[in-house]
A = this chain, B = another copy of it.
Amino acid sequence: MATTVWQIPKASVKNLNKHAALDLIRFAPGGISRIELSRQIGLTRAAVTSIVGDLIEARLVREANGQHSGGRNPINLEINPDFGRVLGIDIGSTHVTIVLANGLAQVLNEVNAPLDITQGPEICLPQVEQVINTWLPNTGTGLREILAAAVDVPGPVVSDAGKVGAPPIMPGWDNFPIRDWLEERLGCPVSLGNDAEFGALGEWAFGAGRGEKNLAYIKVGTGVGAGLLLDGQIYRGTTGSAGEIGHITLVEDGPICTCGNHGCLEALAGGRSLALRARDGVSKGRRTRLAEIVPANSITAKDVIAAARRGDLFSQQLVTDSGYHLGTAIASLVNLINPDIVVIGGGVAQLGDLLLDPIRQTVKQRSLKVSWQAVRISAAILGRRSSAMGAVAQALSMSLHQIAQV
């Protein structure tokens, strides 16, 4: 029942059931009773009473109200929201989003600040620290009250080392001890992850894919990446670069990609491609509202998304084209992974069915029947907060299980 990124420390196999109970309580929508815990873990009611007693004594869990019929009503258990607070930090290529949450993963406050990731860690990380130091006191929370934090970045992560691997979009971040740096400044344990991976975790824990066994989260931002949650566990691959769906080759002689290859999904369907195709269309005189933006080569993906929302047909067509390419790559993923659900997140996903319908159609056409019949394709419920909420889930995992350890 180890459901998240938290790895059970080898020494405490004896506490295995305590951690299992904790996770079941955390992720049970609307709480869970002792007897239900005993059924799911496979322990006796007496044992669960004892375990839950420990958790309540540690102030991690509290009793709440629930309903039933036939006999005595069960007492629902839930995480004690006041057990502590955590930070979820989502570092994107142009922005950083920071979320303050309580033990129940309820968002208490949120802040957003611009950032240019190409400036490297020596510039960016102090900026993040600065944002926290000026914003956090206004939320009525001291830095000392923060039990843990989790950060994600848009590149492959070597999670043991707390560094990024070989980041294509993150020049200068290579080998910088991101986690250690933040742990020292924030004074609490920090976990480093990949943005798509945390997006998957967020949508699995609180969003569109609650509790599914096999989930793929596709982040369609400037680039395109996937986070995989397989058999209830984040899957990172051998060097932490699993889920790099953005660099699957779709068109032999297609447009050049940031990775150096031609015809990658990212170069055909990502935000950067969306902007480039829009500029190209405008310069060719296509009839579109985007033509109002001058100069044409200042058009961004955001502009295209906004225009598509307002009904601009040309922009909608560009998005639909992205959808077909995404669908082709996702069809491969569905054939290989056979997931319960594919969650589409990132900026473009705000357009909903305009993007999802061509994806669904292509997946249905290009993957095996058994597999596409089993899969649900939905937009991210948490929207642009998927990754930050995944970071919150991860930070809560760390602190809850650390406290439960003893």
Contact = CB atoms under 8 A, between A and B. Distances in A.
A125 interface: no
A339 interface: yes
Contacts of A338: 236-244
B328 A249 contact: yes
Interface stretch (A70-78, A141-149, A225-233): A225-233
A212 to B, nearest CB: 8
B368 A337 contact: no
Contacts of A17: 13
Closest 7 CB pairs of A and B: A237-B338, A10-B42, A242-B338, A244-B335, A239-B374, A241-B370, A249-B366
A406 interface: no
A11 interface: yes
A4 interface: no
A245 B336 contact: yes
B371 A241 contact: yes
A238 B213 contact: yes
Interface residues of A, number: 55
Contact of A332 (B42, B248, B368, B374): B248
A340 interface: yes
A165 interface: yes
A17 B14 CA distance: 10
A197 to B, nearest CB: 12
29 contacts: A11-B42, A13-B17, A16-B16, A166-B370, A213-B238, A214-B237, A214-B238, A228-B336, A231-B233, A231-B235, A237-B371, A238-B374, A238-B375, A239-B373, A241-B338, A241-B370, A241-B371, A243-B338, A244-B335, A244-B336, A244-B367, A244-B368, A244-B371, A247-B367, A249-B366, A261-B365, A261-B366, A329-B332, A332-B332
A248 B249 CA distance: 13
Nearest to A236: B338
A58 interface: no
A230 B292 CA distance: 51
Nearest to A237: B338
A248 B248 CA distance: 12
A132 interface: no
A369 interface: yes
B339 A238 contact: yes
Given A11-B42, A237-B214, A261-B366, A226 B336 contact: yes
B249 A331 contact: yes
A73 to B, nearest CB: 26
Interface string A187-215: 00000000000000000000000000110
A370 B236 CA distance: 13
A375 B244 CA distance: 14
A156 interface: yes
A399 to B, nearest CB: 23
A223 to B, nearest CB: 12
Contacts of A16: 13, 16
Contacts of A354: none
Contacts of A214: 237-238
A56 interface: no
A192 to B, nearest CB: 16
A240 B11 CA distance: 34
A370 to B, nearest CB: 5
Given A166-B369, A368-B259, A336 B249 contact: no
Contacts of A368: 168, 241, 244, 247, 259
